[in-house]
């Protein structure tokens, strides 16, 4: 066990990187690029949300028009297509207890200050 610990420490010292100092102009450029990227991704997200909202509104309008034409067709249209969205979940419903597991007792230390 000891040799593994010494090996890890030696590896950590060998692999430790030197601290890199960055010129101020490079740091400012990176900060500006980060801000621009954040703004771009925000705008992209906003556009995607807008498109999705338009799609949902169009779908709801189409379903409402279909409902006015035929209630039976509308009922069929709103059913979930299990072929299109197949989903099966399989897993344990209960797990057996771990032998000799020392459960935490749930104690805590009250460190609230009392003002007299």
User: Where in the chain are the domains?
Assistant: 23-85
Comparing C-alpha atoms, which of 34, 16, 18 is closest to residue 26? 34
In the chain the first and final C-alpha atoms are separated, in Å, by 52
CA distances from 28 to 31, 33, 34, 46 (A): 5, 9, 10, 27
More confident residue, 101 or 41: 41
- The pLDDT > 90 percentage for the chain reads 49
Which of these ranges, 39-43, 85-89, 97-101, has the smallest mean pLDDT? 85-89
Contacts of 77 (CB under 8 A, 6+ apart): 63, 66
21-47: buried (b, 16+ CB within 10 Å) or exposed (e) per residue? Answer: eeeeeeeeeeeeeeeeeeeeeeeeeee
More confident residue, 67 or 104: 67
Report d(CA 66, CA 60) in Å as an integer: 10
């Amino acid at each position: 066990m000891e040799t593994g610990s010494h090996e890890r420490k030696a590896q950590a010292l060998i692999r430790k990187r030197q601290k890199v100092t960055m010129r101020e102009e490079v740091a400012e450029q990176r900060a500006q690029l980060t801000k621009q990227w954040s703004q771009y991704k925000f705008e992209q997200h906003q556009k995607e949300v807008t498109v999705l909202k338009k799609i949902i509104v169009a779908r709801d309008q189409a379903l409402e028009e279909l409902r006015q034409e035929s209630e039976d067709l509308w009922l069929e249209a709103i059913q979930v297509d299990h072929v299109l969205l197949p989903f099966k979940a399989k897993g344990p419903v209960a797990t057996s207890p771990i032998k000799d597991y020392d459960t935490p007792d749930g104690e805590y230390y009250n460190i609230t200050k009392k003002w007299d």
